[in-house]
Each structure stands twice: as structure tokens, then as C-alpha cells.
Amino acid sequence: MKVLFRSRIDMPAALELTRDLADRLGTRGAVVVFDAGTGAALGRPGEPIASTDADVIVCVGGDGTILLAVHEMGRQRPILGVNYGEVGFLADLEPAEASAFLDGLVGGFTVEPRMRIMISVDGSVIGTALNEAVIVTSRPAKMLRFSVLIDGVRSEHFRADGLLVSTPTGSTAYAMSAGGPLVDPRIEGFLLVPLAPYMLSSRPHLISSDRRVELGLESSKPAHLVIDGQAQFELDQHALLRVERSAEPALFVDVGRNFFEKVDRKLRRL
């Protein structure tokens, strides 16, 4: 088994934990490598995560570290997150638990797929999100006008500060802060959450991923599309976005932790 380690490189304690976990796993028969940035920070050889053939990616950091790894991978590979951030909802293990779990990793593991969404703008694919894609105005305190079309039928037409399209996995991230519901990640659907809508009737929608969902931007004001907080694109004033289920889900090592237990532990007891 080959395991690639990626760490937050701005935290010496995270790098130290990464080195210790990697050295320990190496003594148990695994082939251990580091991604290029982590390797450079530790003074060890590294390889690009985009072209790695590792069986597992171990990320030591917060959700941003994991999201960046998902975005950089050429082909999705199972990720195991060790939390060294704040909430770290995508990271299933705390530092104190990591060594014991990794000891058994070489013996085999199961994988949990997580739906991603693919975003097209005016017919061209521009990115894929594990958490969310959000359309926001580039001018503070200015509203945008949106249309939502489902299977070609306009279901919503409203003004708001922005519009967020989330996966079920992302329902515990920005979408939750914006007033959206928590969604079981085993459900495959698109969660649409208006950001500060002008009308009280503009409510979040959970739409089956089998439907054709299009978002029309109707505004004279400039806007940006931000995907997973990692990539930003400028949108034309009358852009048409299409939301589809990605053919390639993200993959996470299943540590046997119930989603709703994690919600209680990480989100209700902060």
C-alpha cells in the first residue's frame, strides 16, 4: 500500500504530527510519500498530488487542506482527514485518534463516495465543487437578480445578495451558516440557498441530482462565482449556469463514524 501525506505547512505542530504519523506507518510496511509542498517543508522528497498513484491520501489540517487536495487530484483517491484546523468537519479523525487508526489501515479499509457538483457557465465547464459554488456580487451592499430553472421550468425569480449551490456534504459548511438545512451526505441532490433574499418567500430548495438545474444571472452589476473557496471566476451580467452531478465523486476513507454523531460533536458543542 502506498500512502501520500499532505499537511498544513503554516503550522509547525501539524507538520510534526504529519512526520510522526508517516514514520510510524512506514514501519508497518506501507510505502510512504509526501506531496511536494509538505516534503519541501519537512526536508524530504515529495511528489505532485495531481499525478500521484497513492492508494490513500492522508491530510493533516482543516477542511481547506482537504478541499484543496480534492481539487488538485488528477483522479480522485481515498482521503483520510486528520483535524488540525478549527471545526474540521471533513476530517474524521482527531490527532489523538490518528495513530491507532493508521495502524490498521494497511490491513484494508472501506471507502465512502461523496457527490460533487460540476458547474458550467454558458455551456463551458469551469469547475467541480465538493462543498459549494456561490455567486456573489463583487460590489458590497448591492443585490443580484436570479432565475432558477428546473427541467426547463422557471421555479424561482428573486433578488438576493447571492446564491449558493451546495452538495449534501457542503450542507454543514457555508450553506448551514446561510440558513440552509443539514442534509445527510448519502442523499444525492443540489441544495440551493439564497443569500439574504429580499422576499420572505425565497427559501432553500433541495433538488434531486437527476433533474436539470440552471441558474440565470440577470443583473447589471458585476458578480463572481467562487468554487469551494478555492477558485474564483468573473461572471457576465447575463450568465447562465448549469449544475450537474459530477461523474467522479470525492472518496473518503470510512472510519465508522455516524454523520449525525459528528454533527452533534462538532457543530452543537463548539
Amino acid in position 27 = T
Structure confidence by residue, pLDDT tens digits, 60-107:
999 999 999 999 998 999 999 999 977 788 999 999 999 999 999 988
Could you give the residue numbers annotated as active site?
63
- SS3 label, residue 96: helix
- pLDDT of the residue at 220: 79
Task: Give the pLDDT confidence score for residue 270 in this predicted structure.
Answer: 54
Mean pLDDT to the nearest integer, 47-72: 95
**Exposed (0-12), middle (13-18) or buried (19+): which is 53, by Cβ within 10 Å?**
exposed
3-class DSSP state of 36: helix
pTM of this prediction?
Answer: 0.91
Average of pLDDT values for 200-221? 91
The pLDDT value recorded for residue 118 is 98
Task: Identify the CA nearest to 172 among candidates 131, 206, 207.
Answer: 131
What the chain holds in terms of domains, given with CATH numbers, is 2-114+249-267 (3.40.50.10330), 117-245 (2.60.200.30)
Give the mean model confidence (pLDDT) for residues 14-18: 96
Give CA–CA dist 218/179, Å, rounded.
Answer: 24
What band does 260 get if pLDDT is binned at 50, 70 and 90?
A: confident
- Residue 264 predicted with pLDDT over 90: no
